[in-house]
């Protein structure tokens, strides 16, 4: 996603596919990440409920502009105007020190496999 696509329109199914790709990509490095069943997705945004490895809970908005933490608990969009992140990795790196360790260890494991 490019940041200049600020109002890119996807239908609900496309946003769900986009969200599922993100979930699949980072699921080994978080306790839980899933699409919010309470908050309504639109053709411009979908909401994800995140539990970090530190057991912190957030509501994350995924849009063409990137990722933003919009709530400090699940299904909460009360925090507006927050910093945007281009990737789920940069968001997780910002909120979860254990994510950094988990991701780094996974990279080391892959490098060790390549050495064999």
On whether residue 80 sits in a domain, the answer given is yes
The per-residue pLDDT for 67 is 97
* CA–CA gap between residue 1 and residue 115 (Å, rounded): 33
User: How many domains in the chain?
Assistant: 1
Residue 104: give the domain boundaries: 12-115
The per-residue pLDDT for 7 is 57
The per-residue pLDDT for 9 is 72
The per-residue pLDDT for 83 is 92
* Tokens matching residue 106: 């996974």
The per-residue pLDDT for 46 is 96
The per-residue pLDDT for 8 is 62
On whether residue 6 sits in a domain, the answer given is no
The per-residue pLDDT for 111 is 86
On whether residue 61 sits in a domain, the answer given is yes
On whether residue 23 sits in a domain, the answer given is yes
The per-residue pLDDT for 47 is 97
Q: Edge-to-edge strands of the sheet including 66-71?
A: 32-35, 45-51, 57-63, 66-71, 84-85
Residue with the two structure tokens 């009360």 = 78
The per-residue pLDDT for 116 is 79
On whether residue 2 sits in a domain, the answer given is no
From first to last of the 116 residues of the chain, give the pLDDT tens digit. 444 445 567 887 899 999 999 999 999 999 999 999 999 988 899 999 999 999 999 999 999 999 999 999 999 999 977 899 999 999 999 999 999 999 888 888 888 888 87
What CATH number should be reported for the domain holding residue 81?
3.30.2280.10
For the whole model, what pTM was predicted? 0.85
On whether residue 4 sits in a domain, the answer given is no
């Amino acid at each position: 996603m490019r940041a200049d696509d600020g109002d890119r329109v996807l239908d609900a199914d496309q946003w769900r596919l986009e969200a599922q790709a993100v979930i699949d990509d980072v699921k080994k490095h978080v306790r839980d990440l899933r699409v919010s069943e309470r908050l309504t997705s639109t053709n411009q945004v979908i909401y994800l409920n995140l539990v970090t490895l530190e057991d912190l809970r957030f509501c994350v908005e995924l849009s063409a502009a990137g990722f933003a933490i919009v709530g400090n608990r699940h299904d909460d969009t009360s925090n507006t105007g927050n910093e945007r992140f281009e990737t789920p990795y940069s968001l997780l790196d910002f909120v979860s020190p254990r994510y950094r360790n988990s991701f780094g260890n996974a990279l080391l494991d892959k490098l060790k496999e390549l050495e064999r």
